Structure 1
Amino acid sequence: MDVTPTGSPETAAGPLVSAAAVVENGRLLVVSKTAAPGLFYLPGGKPEPGETAREALVRELGEELGMRPRSLTPLTEIRATAALEGVPMTMTVFRATLEGRPAPAAEIAALRWTDGTGLDLAPAVRDHVLPLVL
């Protein structure tokens, strides 16, 4: 899996995204953004030019959840259609543990812990991440 710096947050395969799969007590942490309050994603976001996927995720977790990861381990790379934008994306997912309790910040409207039921999950999360972590 390529976690090297990028010259741009876009590739021929669409936007690059770094995301965290945080699992506690058999539940996955998901967030909804103010732009799409009913749809839940993994916390994370797009790397800035020159950032590695790992660096982008550390920054995004600080901005979105107000915390740093205790550990980040590469889990998978997913090529899928972005749920909101409807364009192809490449998402690098890290298995993560967090220090403390996350709280919504920045563009995050809400966070939830899910076993995969009862929430409208982004297709990449539902179809690719859940089977790997739960």
Structure 2
Amino acid sequence: MNEAAEMKDPSFSGIQKVGAAIVLDRKVIALRKTNQPSSEYYMAGGKIEDGETQLQTLKRELDEELGVAVKEYDYIGTYEDLAVFEGTPIRLHAYYVLVEGRPKPANEVKEYRWFDSKWKSEGIELSSILAEQVIPELVARGYID
């Protein structure tokens, strides 16, 4: 199955997003929005628009949020939880991504930060899917320390 070619699942009534675990020098990037109510960092990416595949969403969102292009990607997994900002069910399709270009905060992105599996000791707050699902998978696959 080619997950990147998949579109929104009409049977899921919650928010459907694609998340990018952009890795550089064995660290992953996380973002904070300009007007977000919490201090949590979250994965780059965003909502899948009607008629858009996961890969199209990934490419669009990374260009909009960070001004970078997708060079390589690998499907990590699909995770469900409550959305940090909206408080509604979310289904996130996560991808390991290598990019072309240097990330620059754009659109609604206030700032970004690079981190590894020791993020807790640095006092960083992460969204639950990133912290509990994606980071352990990136470590298990040897992408980050």
Report the TM-score when normalising by structure 2: 0.83
Q: CA deviation at 1:114?
A: 1.0
Instruction: Please give the secondary structure, in 2, of the residue aligned with 1:16.
Output: strand
Q: What does residue 72 of structure 2 align with?
A: 71
Contact 1:23 1:133 in 2 (8 A): no
2:34 is aligned with 1:34: yes
Q: What does residue 54 of structure 1 align with?
A: 55
User: Could you say which structure has the higher strand fraction?
Assistant: 1
% identical equivalent positions: 31
Kindly name which structure, 1 or 2, has the bigger radius of gyration based on alpha carbons.
2
The number of residue pairs the alignment matches comes to 132
Q: CA deviation at 1:103?
A: 0.7
**RMSD of aligned alpha carbons:** 1.8
Report the TM-score when normalising by structure 1: 0.90
Q: Give the aligned residue type for 1:93.
A: A
- From the superposition, tell whether residues 70 and 15 of structure 1 become closer, same or farther in structure 2 (CA, over 3 Å): same
- From the superposition, tell whether residues 87 and 7 of structure 1 become closer, same or farther in structure 2 (CA, over 3 Å): closer
2: distance between equivalents of 1:47 and 1:88?
14
Q: CA deviation at 1:6?
A: 2.8
1: distance between equivalents of 2:69 and 2:25?
20
Instruction: Please give the secondary structure, in 1, of the residue aligned with 2:85.
Output: coil
Instruction: Please give the secondary structure, in 2, of the residue aligned with 1:121.
Output: coil
Unmatched 5+ stretches in structure 2:
140-145
Q: What does residue 125 of structure 1 align with?
A: 130
Unmatched 5+ stretches in structure 1:
none
